[in-house]
Amino acid sequence: MSWMVIKRMFVSGAKNFTRGGAVSAATVLIMTVTLAIIASLIFLSALLSYTLNVISKKVDVSVYFVTTASEPDIFAVKDQLLKLPQVQSISYTSANEALSAFRERHANDQLTLQALNELGGNPLDASLEIQAKDPSQYESIVKFLEASPALSSDGTSIVDRINYAQNKEIIDRLTLAIRATREVGFAVIILFALASVLIAFATIRLAIYTAKDEISVMRLVGASNVYIQGPFIVAGVITGVIAASIVLALLGPVTWYASTKTVGWFGGFSLASYYADSFPLVFAVIMLSGVVLGSVASILAIHRYLKV
């Protein structure tokens, strides 16, 4: 196919889009709404990922040691755990730090503080708070501790208890929520993609139908199928590019305004900041979606209804 033929298809496609008038405007409007929905799903996915990440950081497994455990022995256990690929980070809380935190939490509870003072010592244990890379990995970390009990230099176990049993239900629910969010999000994206093709298909079909007589003449004079389809595909791509440009232009002020109202609700997540930081990704997804939806809908419409 020569460059001249390609140029003519692009020129014809641009003319078809311009001559479409109200039909082209309606197609752009519907495509804009469709791409706006896709953009909303992108931001919703980012918000859910941020929220789940924040929740994940608040869930951990704590290993409490006997009061006679020495810090070198506890740090030896910490070093062993840090070698596990499932472990993200570990923080150490000494017995004195645990006691200070306990006093702060019960600063207004004089009975509790009085009972603590009467003990004449520190009854609280030192502990390690383990943060896993993924909530589903806590169980394997606990199994490692149970299979290889931490021992002190004299051979006795220094682990008092592990609070995994108390947190297991929360961890399991969080793991299920993460998996369900990913699966539902993927299903919603597929659903809206199919709906977008069908909507664009219906509007572009109308534009093709108005040029049916012109296409019949082109076929009579021997025009190839590619030459006939080309201008409509170009018009579909133009529709997608214009709709994507409108959505990308509107996302700036919309995300800025939404951020001023919702950043507190979303736990510090700013839609405007996310849009600015992820603009190349959002631009690529929205623009590519517009081009693909417009061209695919045009191809399906001309094949189905004109039997080219």
Distance of CA 8 to the CA centre of its chain: 42
197-227 per-position pLDDT tens digit: 676 677 667 766 766 667 677 767 776 666 6
pLDDT given at position 84: 87
Nearest Cα to Cα of residue 127 among 171, 82, 61: 61
pLDDT given at position 65: 86
111-156 per-position pLDDT tens digit: 776 776 776 677 778 888 888 887 778 888 888 887 776 666 666 7
SS3 content of the chain, % helix, strand, coil (to 5): 75, 10, 20
Q: Compare 96 and 174 and report the one with higher pLDDT.
A: 96
Place of tokens 């109200």: 22
Q: CA torsion angle for 176, 180, 183, 189 (degrees, to 10)?
A: -150
Q: Does pLDDT of 306 surpass 60?
A: no
Place of tokens 């012109």: 214
Give the pLDDT band (50/70/90) at residue 248.
very high
Q: CATH 3.30.70.3040 spans which residues of the chain?
A: 67-157
In whole angstroms, give the CA distance from residue 197 to residue 202. 9
Nearest Cα to Cα of residue 300 among 147, 219, 194: 194
Q: At what angle do helices 225-262 and 212-220 cross, to 10 degrees?
A: 150
Q: Does pLDDT of 54 surpass 80?
A: no
Average pLDDT over residues 90-94: 88
How high does pLDDT run on average in the chain? 77
Tell me which CATH code domain 67-157 carries: 3.30.70.3040
Give backbone dihedrals phi and psi of 86, rounded to 5 degrees, phi first.
Answer: -80, -15
In whole angstroms, give the CA distance from residue 52 to residue 237. 37
Q: Does pLDDT of 161 surpass 90?
A: no
259-270 per-position pLDDT tens digit: 887 777 777 788
